[in-house]
Structure 1
Amino acid sequence: MIGLGAAVLALGLSAPAFADHGRDGHGDGATVPFGRATLTGFASLPAETFVPNSEPSGALLGTAPINGVTPPFAGQPVQGFSGVARRHDGTFDVLSDNGYGNKANSADFLLRIQRVKPDFRTGVVRAVGGVDLSDPDRHVTFPLTRSDRRLTGADFDVESMVRNPDGTYWIGDEFGPFLLHFSPSGSLLEAPVALPGVQAPENPYLGGGTPNLARSKGFEGMARAVDGRRLYPLLEGTVAGDPAGALRMYEFDLRKRAYTDRRWVYQLEAPGNSIGDMIAVDRDRFLVIERDNQQGDAAQFKRVYLTDTRDRDRDGKVDKTQVADLLDLANPKGVGGFGTTFRFPFQTIEDVVILDDSTLGLLNDNNFPFSSGRTPGKADPDEFITVRLSRSLGADPRAYR
Structure 2
Amino acid sequence: MRQTSIRVGAIALALTVAATPAAATSHPDVRQPTLTGFASLPAQTYVPASEPSGAALGTAPINGVQPPFADQPVQGFSGILRAGAGTYEVLSDNGYGTKANSADFALRVQRIAPVFRTGAVDVLGGFNLTDPDGKVPFPLVRPDRVLTGQDFDVESIVRAVDGTYWFGDEFGPFLLHTDRAGRLLSAPVPLPDVRAPENPYLAGGTPNLPSSKGYEGMATSPDGRYLYPLLEGTVTGDPAGSLRLYEFDTRAGAYTGQRWVYRLDAPNHAIGDAIAVDANRFLIIERDGGQGDAALVKKIYLADRRDKDGDGALDKTLLVDLLNIANPRRLGGFGEVFRFPFVTIEDVLLLDERTIAVLNDNNYPSSSGRTPGQPDNNEFITIRLPQSLHPDPRALR
1:3 to 16, 23, 33: 23
2:333 to 333, 337, 349: 337
Q: How many residue pairs get matched?
A: 377
TM-score (norm 1): 0.92
1:328 matched to which residue of 2? 324
The SS at the match of 2:94 is: coil
1:304 to 283, 300, 307: 300
2:390 matched to which residue of 1? 394
2:193 matched to which residue of 1? 197
The SS at the match of 2:100 is: helix
Structure 1 residues 56-67: aligned runs within 5 Å: 56-67=52-63
Q: Give, in angstroms, the shift of residue 3 of structure 1.
A: 3.4
Are 2:23 and 2:36, in contact at CA under 8 Å, matched by a contact in 1? no
CA distance in 1, matches of 2:155, 2:240: 22
The SS at the match of 1:279 is: strand
Cα 1:243–1:35 shift into 2, 3 Å: farther
1:142 matched to which residue of 2? 138
Structure 1 residues 96-135: aligned runs within 5 Å: 96-135=92-131
1:46 to 38, 42, 46: 42
1:178 matched to which residue of 2? 174
Structure 1 stretches of at least 4 aligned residues deviating more than 3 Å after TM superposition: 1-4
2:310 matched to which residue of 1? 314
TM-score (norm 2): 0.93
The SS at the match of 1:87 is: strand
Q: Give, in angstroms, the shift of residue 35 of structure 1.
A: 6.5
Q: Give, in angstroms, the shift of residue 200 of structure 1.
A: 0.2
Alignment pair present for 1:87 and 2:83: yes
The amino acid across from 2:197 in the alignment is P
Higher relative contact order (CA 8 A, sep 6+): 1
The SS at the match of 2:317 is: strand
Q: Give, in angstroms, the shift of residue 36 of structure 1.
A: 3.1
State the superposition RMSD in angstroms: 1.2
The SS at the match of 1:122 is: coil
1:20 matched to which residue of 2? none
Alignment pair present for 1:216 and 2:236: no
2:74 matched to which residue of 1? 78
* Gapped regions of structure 1 (runs ≥ 5): 15-33
Cα 1:334–1:366 shift into 2, 3 Å: same
* Gapped regions of structure 2 (runs ≥ 5): 1-20
Residue deviations 1:185-222 (CA, integer Å, cap 9, x gap): 11011110000010000000011111000000000000
Are 1:36 and 1:325, in contact at CA under 8 Å, matched by a contact in 2? no
Range moving further from structure 2, 35-44 or 287-296: 35-44
CA distance in 1, matches of 2:369, 2:265: 22
The SS at the match of 1:259 is: strand
